Amino acid sequence: MPKMLRILFWGLLISFLGSLPLGTLNVAAMQIGIAEGYYYAMLFSIGSLLVEMIYVRISLVGISWIQKQVKLMKIMEWITLAIIVLLAIGSFYAAIHSSGEKQVHIWDKININRFLLGAGMCAINPVQIPFWFGWSTVLFSKKILEPVNAQYNSYIIGIGLGTLAGNCVFIFGGKLMVEKISGSQDYINWVIGAVFAITAVIQLWKIITHKDAVDKIQHIHPDENLKMN
């Protein structure tokens, strides 16, 4: 397998598998797909994955700069927590007030371009930075990835494709479930509300105990792990 294709494959595989656990972005994409259709869910996903790709590129060459932005990232984490809480409340509200043909969706109240919404929600969540730095370190140590711009680009393209594929599992799977199972919309709203609520509790606990993404980023030592351009 050609070097560039192998690097793209690794980026795609890691990103796809990393997108499968329930999280804020993939669950939000699924909700939008159910409420508004595939087009808007894909717009949301593309917006979020483009920001993720930018974060990966920055983590490869600018982790030292990122480590200096502690206050900014702390603010971003609290904003992310507030958004997750609002999504949980909105999902529970939709589950309680939906009945029969009348379906209530939290996304009806959020009048923001779905591409910009996806980009914004991803941008304020720095958790992907330590995740991708860790995986990049592994690939560097195994000599799969080298500090060459062409390889970085192939790696990042693979990451984008993997994230999109992972989100598609949620978008198309959620929509198919609602169409095939009668009354499943209410159950999905309850489940999604619970997912957001649990995520919010975990996020708050990590922030309070200093085990959040910001703390992980601060303990990264780029000079000891990666040889950057």
For the stretch 193-212, pLDDT in tens is 888 888 889 888 887 887 76
3-class secondary structure, 214: helix
pLDDT, residue 64, reads 60
Percent of the chain residues topping a pLDDT of 90: 26
Report the alpha-carbon distance of residue 129 to residue 119 in Å, rounded.
15
Please tell me the number of Cα atoms within 13 Å of 9 on its side-chain side: 7
Q: Which pLDDT belongs to residue 184?
A: 62
Average pLDDT, the chain: 81
Using CA atoms, how far apart are residues 32 and 44, in angstroms rounded to an integer?
8
Burial of 115 (0-12, 13-18, 19+ CB in 10 A): middle
Q: Is residue 132 scored above 80 in pLDDT?
A: yes
Q: Which of 17-31, 56-70, 139-153 has the lowest mean pLDDT?
A: 56-70
Residue 148 has pLDDT above 90, yes or no: no
